[in-house]
Amino acid sequence: MMIGCPKEIKPQEFRVGMTPTAVQEAVAHGHTVLIETGAGVGAGFPDADYIAAGADMTGHAADVFAKADMIVKVKEPQAGERKMLREGQVLFTYLHLAPDPDQTRDLLASGCTAIAYETVTDGHNGLPLLAPMSEVAGKLAPQVGAWTLQKANGGRGVLMGGVPGVGPAEVVVIGGGVVGTQAARVAAGMGANVVVLDRSLPRLRYLDDAFGGVFGTRYASAGNTAELVAGADMVIGAVLIPGAAAPKLVTRAQLSDMKPGAAIVDVAIDQGGCFETSKATTHQDPIYEVDGIMHYCVANMPGAVARTSTIALGNATMPFLIALADKGWRQACEEDAHLLNGLNTHGGKLTNYAVGKALEIDVLSPALALKA
């Protein structure tokens, strides 16, 4: 199979879909890999590393899309990239289709077979290709939130850990999954008072058992959420419904109850965001203010630490990438129901029920798509 990896073109996105290690593995399995010149530079992988691993190089993204049987990326294809996709071609990347009708429409029009990292599952009710980036984003959230809280950036001017005689920041994390757990650990490590909200009692028990004393937990009722958000210096949104649009858990009206200059960090922005006032921003222009509350809503947070993120993502995606290349997408998905859960579009049909519900589009069963 010819595997293609273009350079990411989303603003301030420095990650790359394949590391030289992944190229070496694919070549060892008998495949050809075509890398766009400069694709890995932002993550610290010069072209020479890819050539040494056995990759072919091209200076044009159009060559990658025209020649490759499978396109491997990090972020969702941008409008210009979507025009280069074709029927019969496999796209393996993050998609986040539920809040993105334009991308969904273009992928369906292309006829390509799109497999989304974020909906591939595992045997433990986990999302193995989303988890590493969730860990990165969770650990980054308090860091960027602390920056947002600085007075020069419009924030309250509160230090996360305080100093003797001055209390620390009050941090609320909405969601106790991978993102929320990592965010709470780091925020607590910075000295803040941290509370995690979640609706799963088993998850709250786990967090109390594993981290008791490091941070607190509360049940995520509407009343508890409103009370804690009102008293917070920083609120981190870390909710996820696989494949679906994120629920809006904090309304604009609630912003008036928050402390002026408080910071919101919406890690769920890839799925539309969990605050009513959230809109996607970039690393170049990451924050904005609504009703006196500072919002940090960068849609590709892990791109800020591109080398760490690229290696972590590559470790997770490699077995699936090799399976798709060795067996073809049909056999690979037929033999692995968890990989089949990653199938989002095929032959002009949507194949993910959560996305279909969010966008009100008819869905073809993934099992039927295998036979199409």
pLDDT per residue over 101-149, tens digit each?
999 999 999 999 999 999 999 998 899 999 999 999 999 999 999 999 9
Beta strand pairing call for 293-296 and 287-290: antiparallel
- pTM of the predicted protein model: 0.89
> Which residue do the tokens 């969904």 mark?
104
pLDDT tens for each residue of 43-79: 999 999 999 999 999 999 999 999 999 999 999 999 9
Q: Are 222 and 289 contained in the same domain?
A: yes
Residues 243 and 260 placed together within one structural domain of the fold: yes
Q: What pLDDT band is residue 241 in, cutting at 50, 70 and 90?
A: confident
Asked, for residue 283, whether it belongs to a domain, the answer is yes
pLDDT band, very low/low/confident/very high, at 213 (cuts 50, 70, 90): confident
Residues 26, 70, 308, 54: is their CA dihedral positive or negative? positive
Residues 66 and 10 in one domain: yes
Q: Are residues 289 and 315 in the same domain?
A: no
Report if residue 47 sits inside a domain: yes
Out of 277, 299, 321, a domain closes at 299
- Same domain, residue pair 320 and 353: yes
pLDDT of the residue at 133 = 94
Looking at residue 81, what is its pLDDT? 98
Tell me, yes or no, whether 202 lies in a domain.
yes
What is the residue-wise DSSP string for 94-126?
----TT-HHHHHHHHHHT-EEEEGGG---TTS-
Q: Residue 209: what pLDDT?
A: 95
The arithmetic mean of pLDDT across residues 338-343, rounded, is 97
Q: Catalytic residue among 233, 266, 270, 336, which?
A: 270
**pLDDT tier for residue 189 given thresholds of 50, 70 and 90:** very high
Which of these three, 299, 328, 350, is where a domain ends? 299
CATH number, domain of 321, equals 3.40.50.720
State residue 221's pLDDT score.
96
Contact (CB, 8 A) for 304 and 282: no
Identify whether residues 82 and 24 lie together within a single domain: yes
Write out the two tokens for 266. Answer: 């919406």
What was the pLDDT predicted at 346?
A: 98
Q: Is 69 part of the annotated catalytic residue set?
A: no
Please report whether residue 126 resides in a domain.
no
Give the pLDDT score at 347.
Answer: 97
Contact predicate 293/250, CB 8 Å = no
Residue 243 pLDDT: 77
Q: Please tell me whether residues 104 and 135 are part of one structural domain.
A: no
In a 13 Å sphere around the CA of 211, the CA atoms on its Cβ side amount to 22
Sign for the CA dihedral angle at 217, 218, 219, 225 comes to negative
Please indicate, yes or no, if residue 186 is contained in any of the structural domains.
yes
Structure tokens given for 220:
């995520």
Q: What is the mean pLDDT of residues 287-292?
A: 98
By C-alpha distance, which of 350, 313, 279 is closest to 16? 313
Residue 242 in this model has a pLDDT that exceeds 90: no
Quick check: is 270 catalytic? yes
Q: How many Cβ atoms sit within 10 Å of the Cβ of residue 368? A: 11
Structure tokens at 351: 């194949």
Q: Is residue 351 part of a domain?
A: yes
Same domain, yes or no: 326 and 215: no
Strand partners of residue 72: 92
| 335-350: average pLDDT | 97
| 217: containing domain | 131-299
96-100, 135-139, 344-348: range with lowest mean pLDDT: 96-100
- State both tokens at 110: 């292309």
Order of strands across the sheet with 216-219?
216-219, 193-198, 170-174, 234-237, 263-266, 293-296, 287-290
Q: What is the pLDDT of residue 59?
A: 97
Question: So what's the pLDDT on residue 372?
Answer: 81
What distance in Å separates the CA atoms of residue 89 and residue 73, rounded to the nearest whole number? 13
Task: Let me know whether 14 and 143 are in one domain.
Answer: no
| Residues in Cβ contact with 33 at an 8 Å cutoff, skipping those fewer than 6 apart | 2, 3, 4, 5, 18, 23, 26, 27, 50, 54, 55, 56
Look at the chain and report how many structural domains it folds into: 2
Find the catalytic residue in 31, 96, 295, 346. Answer: 96
Q: Are residues 111 and 170 in the same domain?
A: no
Asked whether 338 and 123 are in contact (CB, 8 A), the reply is yes
Domain assignment present for 147: yes
Q: If phi over 0 gives left and psi between -120 and 50 gives alpha, with beta otherwise, what is residue 85? A: beta
